[in-house]
Chains A and B, each alone.
Chain A
């Protein structure tokens, strides 16, 4: 098994302790940082996403896998920068105004990172204006909106409207959360519906990376 395959496997099993040795080994073998990222870390997370969608993995497995991926990415980041490798796309994520729920949003953020996005996490209780402002200060390709309550879900309408109005061209917008449906996504003119964290990352990839 090649070192990138072992890296991918280490992500899958959440083995963050092995990451320093594996990243060093891969770099010592002269592999480009981009290849280590794509074929090692991100390939592992892609498999995590697949297993999550298929009910083979659940939240504990996703959390440890994301932890291992993050540990590897942190070690790899200086090499990526030196070699001029940039994230494939940038996503801004947040829970909408009036809503303090963050667990689902955090999971989506982890899966987006695992799909190759640079993630700017605005936290919870984020207004439409704050989303737009973040899009002005970062080169944003995707905005991901979360809401857990039927009472806060309508906030998404205002965010989508303001993004379309203020930002030309507008970044893609995906939405998710317990009360959100595909029908609601279509009604408010969002670009994608994240039924769960893994699906969200998959939809985001399709929208931003083709």
Chain B
């Protein structure tokens, strides 16, 4: 069975030959694994592009580990594409104003969320002045990165996901979390206007990518809507402000026969019923440290939902193979019967996991995850 067949069957809850394998890596983990494997990152992979530039490598880490899936497209939703303006720089970090007029402090030599120093768009008036910049365009996709990956994935029979972001993830880069969440109560019309604008462009970008010939099998939609103790917003606010736009986007994917995998960090349990209602088919990465556990969710949601993740990175980081096997087996046992599980760490593989450990993890999934 090819990766594409394996993932396609799993996303529709039909029995594959084994549990599909997919994963994400912290920058330092990918760099170290690649060096050990003799396939170091190319020069082009700079710290400031680390979320996406791995896809520009002649062999992505997904291909190096022969995983079943890849992601392409990744439209860039910045308002302006001009290079960031450097405001201050030290040996350790860089303070810059980006294309969304946000001032962020980034580490220079390691991966991580930047400090949100200031957001230039903090009022409906300022938004009105830049709204016209948010339009669909070819410029929003790095074709030179994704065409080669797309073609290699097709040749190798891997499942290809259209990767994009949902409104919370888009708008937090423009307004920041605090302004965005406060405005749900204080300026609801403004938030609806922004969400509507961005989701319209997100759908137009899907159409544009498709029109270019990059036709994908499924959708991997990124949007952190929770943190470690619960959702950012109440289910009521989710239904009022986010769900209508989720539904619009997910409907577009479903009309094309593309299942939707939603990535959200944190504890999203309070929102799961509403997410299912919006059209989410699979969730990722199911952070164990935030209380997400497929062993509890699988019996509760049955075939309403599928799972991609939940293998506790803290356990992987012990490099204790017995503990890791126990973690894998107990979760695989709980979810395999539903034929709706894709192996993935519960966020990203950290650099404290050795290459030998990670190779053992994949071997274990390939063995213990067999259906025959």
Contacts and interface: CB of A to CB of B under 8 A. Distances in A.
Interface of A: 14, 55, 57-61, 63-64, 67, 99-104, 106, 124-125, 148-151, 178-179, 195-196
A61 B228 CA distance: 18
A76 B112 CA distance: 40
B289 interface: yes
Contacts, number: 69
B138 interface: no
A161 B229 CA distance: 28
Given A59-B233, A60-B237, A179-B289, A104 B227 contact: yes
Main DSSP-derived SS at the A contact region: loop
A101 to B, nearest CB: 6
A201 B25 CA distance: 35
B182 A55 contact: no
Contact of A100 (B105, B227, B230): B105
Interface stretch (B113-121, B200-208, B253-261, B298-306): B113-121
Nearest to A152: B112
B232 A101 contact: no
A150 B182 contact: no
Given A100-B107, A124-B115, A149-B112, 15 more contacts: A55-B230, A58-B232, A59-B233, A61-B234, A63-B182, A99-B112, A100-B105, A100-B113, A101-B113, A102-B115, A103-B177, A125-B93, A148-B113, A150-B314, A151-B350
A202 to B, nearest CB: 14
A67 B178 CA distance: 11
Main DSSP-derived SS at the B contact region: mixed
B116 A64 contact: no
A125 to B, nearest CB: 8
A60 B115 contact: no
Nearest to B290: A178
B115 A58 contact: no
Nearest to A178: B228
The 8 closest A-B pairs by CB, nearest first: A100-B115, A178-B228, A63-B182, A60-B181, A58-B234, A196-B229, A60-B184, A64-B185
B231 interface: yes
Given A58-B230, A58-B237, A103 B185 contact: no
Interface in B156-192: 177-178, 181-182, 184-186
